[in-house]
Structure 1
Amino acid sequence: MDRISDLPKIILHDILSRLPHKDVARTSILSKAWHETWSTFPILVFDGFGRGIHLPLKDKGKPLKIQHHRRKVNAFLNSVDRTLVRFHHHGFAIKEFSLSMMFFHPQFMPHHVDRWMKIVSQSNDSIKVLKLELDVTDHRFGFGPFSVDKYYYLPPDVLKAKLITKLELSGIIRVDKLFVNHRIRFSMLQILSLSKVYLGHEQALDDLISGCPMIEDLTLEYCFGLENVKIHDLPKLKSVKVSGPRVVDVDVPSLEFLHIGNRDLQLPCNINIDKCRNLKVLLLGFVSSVFVSNQWLLETFNKFPFLERLELDSCVTSESIKISSFRLKVLSIECCHEMKEAQINAPNLESFRYFGTNINVPAISFVNCSDQLEFDAVFSIHSCLDLERFRVFLHNIEPRNVMTSLALGMVNGSPIASNEDVLQNVPVKIKQLILRVGEETQEVCVLLIKALFWSFRPAIVSLKLRLCSKMFVKVSLEKLKWKDEEDGCCSSSNKMKCLLVA
């Protein structure tokens, strides 16, 4: 007996809100009651890419492919239209609206989006979440040429959504005129994310956040016209992610999470975050103005006494660094080419991740490390030289009893297969081995598996299905059967688990 269908609609909507969007749509075929529940569900998600509306580059000059693509685009536009008109006609509430169009054309489609924004913004003052992503990845395929400078202007109707708590804008969207020429009052806004949108200048951002005193989470990624970011007078702000600007000035004592990044080290980025005394997480990527030396590390941990997580990605470092912190729990060092030695004194460290490069192989040692420390190392091996550097890296880990997870990318398996002795007697304990291996012959796969598994004897082996050849997966499964074999990898004294990871 179906008792769930008899529950009040508000409860059924709550059940649907906890399901993935695709599963929500599937519930409409369960029964008439569920179809009615789905048809009034106040969370609307329209994802063009998720519906397969994408024309690959290889089909650029194929008229039939272009025509089929246009039909799919028109069907998508009509679907959004019908749904929103139905909600508006019956007075149904819209609590969340998400629209993603990677095929947006600024000449033919703005009037559609304008109409949708008007309906959504006036939906019984119920809209809480608004996500809008517009991009032009398909602009060359079937719509004719246009200038990418023609951004979509966010309409004033959006300002009517007074109770909105989350606003995410991404892609070719202009907000400069709206935010400068109108008084912004999003008094309930808690999450604001602007990615690749056109801001024009810093005043647009100042005008926006000045009317949003309740913001807790702020993301600004490569927004056009935003060279200087100054964030202040936001007493609730906990998290900030900024990418692209040349100056970042954050004066928010309540801040706990800060991520600053750029696309490359050639762009200078001056940072002033000294007043963020309660910072717990600091992530830096491609920040050329920061030279990670022992002095910088010492000052950083003194400035931010509550810092628990530090991640350095493609930063400039001194050859030898010493990291000493009692509070530090998570540490990540990725693609820091200058570093040749790292001494880590963090007794409460729970996770350390090192993403290796083919340039330097640092000696990493842990002082007073915890028994719970998880050490993850990631390497790509292209040649015998990379293999030798990898062996040196493993031998340089101190102390030897640190449990390590390895993620290896084998562009060509023959370097290990033909040099099995290179990895013999590896001094560290390998808890998990994660592999991605390209196309190989069965003979090479067998040699590679024996070399890796016998050298490391991991407790768990994970194979990246999308990045491993079918041959390697097949041979791995044959060698990792759960049975006793005197001369196999999985003897009774050394059983392994094999996981297939999508």
Structure 2
Amino acid sequence: MVMEFTMESSALGVPKAILHDILARLPDKEAAKTIALSKTWREYSFPNLSVHWEYFFTEDDVPQGESHRFSGLDNLIDYVTKRLLRLRDQGLALEEFKLNLGDLVDPTLVSLHLDQWIRMVCESGVKVLELDLSADHGRWDLPLCAIEANSLTKLELGEGIRIDQEFLKHSMKLSSMKMLSLTRVLFTHEGVIEHLISHCPLTEHLTVDHCYVYNHLSLEVPLESLFLYGLQLQKLKEVDLQGIQEVYIDSPNLENLRYEPLDFNAPFKLDFNSCTTLRSLLLMRLQYTANADNWFLELFSKHPFLESLEIFACSVFERINISSAQL
């Protein structure tokens, strides 16, 4: 079926923009097969670029010597650079850019290349940007151009990434963002994370998972509190917060909330009273507190539309009294 479609499309002289769009809608493997079947298709680059460190080297390469390791890294750099340059030369947009460098790659060794790649994908109108680097060797500073890409609909940042307080001085243009995920990201100032979230007014899905900030000694410490008050998050429907001890959320249309504190053995603070449309709540690893019973009773009175409640590995309640027609 793929071969028939490929040959017919090539024969009909379909414009390259349409061929490009067709490739963008295919799964990665099917797109690769399609490109391999015809010289005409091979002239066009697959618009979704997904690169994982395992494609270029494995953990078995490391004990054999650093030369194997850097050879694989050189291949990765060469591959990504050529693909992005080819897209740019053809004047085609990159739909998705996903990069996972794993624990075998020091992000500081490829920082200049990373800067170049992000600049190129942002200029091409990228919609999905997913970056996961290694945090074992160092951190790479996310360039400012990433917050100026108004084409982005999904931004997913993982380990090995640092966001500087310089971001506070620049206006952001993430007006199309619908999904924002931050996992083990380092923020040099605690106000940067809230500043970033506040400039994504159309975000529907938000994840903040065990992120870090610098303390007064310039040491990385876990983010202890997150204030999502007054940020105009009218579209926010789903929030996943892990590794944060104090959370304050003001989102009138929130439907799903998942929460896990940083310290399982310390009191937590979770304030989402204004989220009156909440339908699903997942609580994980909460510690027992004296006011737990009252907190639970107020939960149902303040959230009358709650339909699903999950409690996992919690010692916060010795006894639970539930009275809810909706649950």
TM-score normalised by L of structure 2: 0.84
Matched with 2:95 is: 95
Compute the displacement of 1:122 (Å): 1.2
Relative to structure 1, is the Cα distance of residues 285 and 86 closer, same or farther in structure 2, using a 3 angstrom cutoff? same
Q: 1:169 aligns with which of 153, 157, 161?
A: 157
Superposed CA deviations along residues 348-381 of structure 1, whole A, max 9, x for unmatched, are xxxxxxxxxxxxxxxxxxxxxxxxxxxxxxxxxx
1:229 counterpart letter in structure 2: L
Structure 2 unaligned regions, length at least 5: 214-222
Q: 2:58 aligns with which of 27, 35, 54?
A: 54
Any idea what SS the aligned residue of 2:86 has?
helix
> Which residue in 1 is equivalent to 2:33?
26
In structure 2, the CA distance between the partners of 1:227 and 1:294, relative to structure 1 (3 Å rule), is: closer
* Distance of 1:314 and 1:321 partners within structure 2: 14
* Distance apart, 1:119 and its partner CA: 1.0
1:263 CA displacement: 5.5
Change (3 A) 1:89 1:318: closer
Q: Offset at 1:84?
A: 0.9
Contact residue 44 and residue 96 of structure 1 kept, 8 A: yes
Match of 1:43?
48
**Matched residues in 2 for 1:314 and 1:292: separation?**
18
The residue matched to 2:117 in structure 1 has which SS?
helix
- Alignment partner of 1:230: what SS? strand
Picking from 227, 243, 247, the partner of 2:224 is: 227
What is the one-letter code of the residue matched to 1:235?
Q
SS for the counterpart of 1:321 is coil
What residue is the counterpart of 2:123 in the other structure?
A: 122
Q: C-alpha separation between the residues in 2 aligned to 1:319 and 1:156?
A: 49
Deviation of 1:220 (Å): 0.8
Task: Work out the CA distance in 2 between the residues paired with 1:28 and 1:160.
Answer: 32
1:201 has 2:189 as partner: yes
Give the superposition deviation at 1:276: 0.7
Match of 1:361 in 2: none
In the TM superposition, residue 113 of structure 1 has moved relative to its aligned partner by 0.3
Is the strand fraction higher in 1 or 2?
A: 1
| Cα deviation, residue 134, structure 1 | 0.9
**1:230 maps to amino acid:** F
5 Å matches for 1:143-154?
148=137, 150-154=138-142
User: 2:268: which partner in 1?
Assistant: 269
- Secondary structure of 1:284's counterpart equals strand
Secondary structure at the aligned position of 2:325 is classed as coil
For residues 206 and 262 of structure 1, do their structure 2 counterparts lie closer, same or farther at Cα, with a shift above 3 Å needed? closer
1:102-152 C-alpha deviation (Å, 9 max, x unpaired): 1331432100101111111111xx221111111146xxxxxxxxxx4x421
Quick one: distance in 2 between partners of 1:12 and 1:291? 63
Q: Which residue of 1 aligns with 2:201?
A: 213
Question: Residue type matched to 2:59 in 1?
Answer: L
- Larger RCO, structures 1/2 (Cα 8 Å, 6+ apart): 2
Aligned to 2:111: 110
Q: Is the 8 A contact 1:291 1:318 kept in 2?
A: no
Give the fraction of aligned pairs with identical amino acids, expressed as a percent: 36
> Is residue 195–residue 221 contact of structure 1 (8 Å, CA) maintained in 2?
yes
Kindly tell me: are residues 290 and 10 of structure 1, through their superposed partners in 2, closer, same or farther at Cα, counting changes over 3 Å?
Answer: farther
Residue 238 of structure 1 is matched in structure 2 by 237
Residue 82 (structure 2) aligns with: 82
Shift of 1:281: 1.1
CA contact (8 A) 2:154 2:179 kept: yes
- What is the alpha-carbon distance in structure 2 between the residues aligned to residue 173 and residue 264 of structure 1? 23
Is 1:70 aligned to 2:70, yes or no? yes
CA distance, structure 1, for counterparts of residue 292 and residue 247 of structure 2: 21
Change (3 A) 1:77 1:62: same
- Where 2:121 maps in the other structure, the secondary structure is helix
- Count of equivalent residues: 308
**Cα distance in 2 between the residues matched to 1:21 and 1:3:** 19
Match of 1:278?
Answer: 277
Describe the shift of the 1:185–1:26 C-alpha distance in structure 2 as closer, same or farther (beyond 3 A): same
Whole-Å separation in 1 of the counterparts to 2:207 and 2:268? 17
Distance across 2 between alignment mates of 1:177 and 1:128: 25
The 3-state SS of whatever aligns with 2:186 is coil
**Structure 1: any 5+ residue segments left out of the alignment?**
138-147, 329-502
1:292–1:316 CA contact under 8 A, matched in 2? no
Q: For residues 119 and 195 of structure 1, what CA distance do their matches in structure 2 show?
A: 24
* Conserved? CA contact 1:121–1:161, under 8 Å: yes
Distance (Å, rounded) in 2 between the aligned partners of 1:32 and 1:291: 71
Name 2:218's counterpart in structure 1.
Answer: none
Deviations 1:451-477 (A, max 9, x none): xxxxxxxxxxxxxxxxxxxxxxxxxxx
Match of 2:201, SS?
coil
TM-score (norm 1): 0.56
Counterparts of 2:38 and 2:57 in 1: how far apart (Å)? Answer: 29
**Which of the numbers 180, 184, 187 marks the counterpart of 1:192?**
180
Pair 1:316–1:33, CA change in 2 (3 A): same
Larger Rg: 1
Contact 2:257 2:280 in 1 (8 A): yes
1:415-434 mapped onto 2 (5 Å cutoff): none
Query: Does the 8 Å CA contact 2:96/2:127 hold for their aligned counterparts?
Result: yes
2:132 corresponds in structure 1 to 133
Give the CA deviation at 1:195. Answer: 0.8
**Is the contact made by 1:154 and 1:178 (CA closer than 8 Å) also made in structure 2?**
no
3-state SS, counterpart of residue 252 of structure 1:
coil
2:217 paired residue number? none
The alpha-carbon deviation at position 191 of structure 1 amounts to 1.2
